[in-house]
Amino acid sequence: MDVEALKRYYSGVSEERLKALVAEGLGDLVPEALSVLQAELTRRGLLDLAQAVQIQISGPEPAELDAIVAWLRSSACPICGRRGTALNACRVDSLYDSEFLLGCPSCLDSSVRRAESRNALGCLFAPLGLVFGTRAAVRNREAVRVVSSAEPSDALVEYARKHHATLAVSMRAVPENPEP
């Protein structure tokens, strides 16, 4: 991405919007954008926010990443609201998109199965559906296998790594009883 264009963009964004951007999470920004954003926040004297961006740039310490994953897993399931089963995450692939889902194993399992029925139906009607549907089915079967195991899935760890700066702030604010 063009760094000069990023500089021009962030220098024209209002302070409110910059604050909202950091609060929404920095996980989707490419490294160049993070550096330019950090410089802009520093230039405007928003040093706490610049610090949050720096944490995102440096990446989590392994112990912090473990803590974030454990905290996420102990949350109430965002789909059924129940507690007591360690949450996991997977990507559910359908014919048209791929969705990241965090939830208890039973909710994730149902979501994958629902996507499977939609895919099967799509394959009947869309000429290319069969090709995409077969690929999606292989990935979804893998997703079911992963979420039924006791270990955090790669998708969950990747999510925690990508959004660690924002998640770390939420974790400190609500150490017990978290709601994702």
Give me the residues that bind Zn ion (CB under 5 A), please: 77, 79-80, 103-104, 107
- HEC sequence for 49-99: HHHHHHHHHHCCCHHHHHHHHHHHHCCCCCCCCCCCCCCEEEEEECCCCEE
Burial (Cβ within 10 Å: 0-12, 13-18, ≥19) of residue 64: middle
How far, rounded to the nearest angstrom, does the alpha carbon of residue 134 sit from its chain's CA centroid?
A: 25
Element (H, E) at 103: strand 98-103
CB of 73 to Zn ion, least distance (A): 13
Residue type, position 110, single letter: S
CB of 107 to Zn ion, least distance (A): 3
CB of 146 to Zn ion, least distance (A): 16
CB 15 within 8 A of CB 44: yes
CB of 75 to Zn ion, least distance (A): 11
CB of 105 to Zn ion, least distance (A): 8
How far, rounded to the nearest angstrom, does the alpha carbon of residue 16 sit from its chain's CA centroid?
A: 23
Please give the Cα distance from 145 to 141 (Å, whole number). 6
> Nearer to Zn ion by C-beta: 37 or 146?
146
> Nearer to Zn ion by C-beta: 109 or 142?
109
> Nearer to Zn ion by C-beta: 43 or 114?
114
> Nearer to Zn ion by C-beta: 53 or 107?
107
> Nearer to Zn ion by C-beta: 73 or 161?
73
